[in-house]
Homo-oligomer: A and B are copies of this chain.
Amino acid sequence: MGLVGTLNGGPHMTKHDAPLPIRVIVAGAAGRMGQEVVRAVLAQPDLQLVACFDRVYGPEVVPPASGARMASSLAELEGVEADVWVDFTVPAFVKTGVSWALEHGMVPLVGATGMGPEDRAELAALAERTGRGCLIAPNFALGAVLLMKFAAEAARYFPAAEIIELHHERKVDAPSGTARLTADRMSAVRHEVGLPSEPLEAGEEAIAGVRGGACGGIRVHSVRLPGLLAHQEVLLGGTGELLTLRHDSLSRESFMPGVVLAIRKASSIRGLIVGLENLL
């Protein structure tokens, strides 16, 4: 690719200091999320799609004019130089791909979920050893990430809080991963400042389940209805006041500004970090 030099994991420069585009590989490029990422990367002049990776491709995944290599095995990626590895593959593959990327000098940005604490520890060790950063982000929507951050920050000042998450009726799990993560972060802050680790006992349930499920010190309620997409509301109650934080997500597109932001900040990541909020 005719580069004069490449800084470690950061934007590479010519000797005249003109910034070169950040080189990106999209893994899981043929999936619904991967295709959005491909489109988002191609739309940014400071980003360059150098390769796509997926097991199987449908037609027209990548405009041929992009010049990106289309690989369906890691072997086919050998020789491709890149700065960032964006991973929206399946849980079974993530660790393999991310390890490969770290060993090949890239910063992995992982949107796929399903990694356990052991996998994370392993990746953290590998990131340490290779001197690269690595980001695992359960949610790339800026609004969702800000909501989580604000909820954790506010949890310190309110005696009690509950979460209502609302999704379309085809969602198979309850509560949502984001609700769980939000409750965890809020509970951690509550613990820090000495607030109770159990939710407020408020009356008795005449019908089992109406008071929701307890996630640490926070009760969570999951609503499932047609006509909904993906929504989350955090309610924090104090003396004579209520603070409500709500996020509504309409489409996969909502993740793209967060993905692009993470690609641009990838070179500043040190070690393994979890959550896009660390880059805000």
Where the two chains meet, the residues of A that have a C-beta atom closer than 8 Å to any C-beta of B are 141-144, 146-147, 150, 153-154, 157-162, 164, 166, 169-175, 180, 200, 202-215, 219-229, 235-254, 256-257, 280
Contact = CB atoms under 8 A, between A and B. Distances in A.
Q: Is the interface of A mostly helix, strand, loop or mixed?
A: mixed
Nearest to A208: B213
Nearest to A250: B240
Contact of A244 (B160, B173, B207, B246): B246
Given A207-B220, A245-B245, A225 B215 contact: no
A209 B206 contact: no
Nearest to A147: B243
A222 B210 CA distance: 5
Contact of A228 (B237, B249, B253): B237
A205 to B, nearest CB: 5
Contacts of A166: 235
A153 B219 CA distance: 27
Contacts of A173: 203-204, 206
A247 B206 CA distance: 22
B208 A162 contact: no
List 6 A-B pairs, minimum CB-CB distance, nearest first. A225-B237, A240-B254, A202-B224, A207-B213, A227-B237, A241-B254
Given A153-B146, A243-B143, A226 B221 contact: no
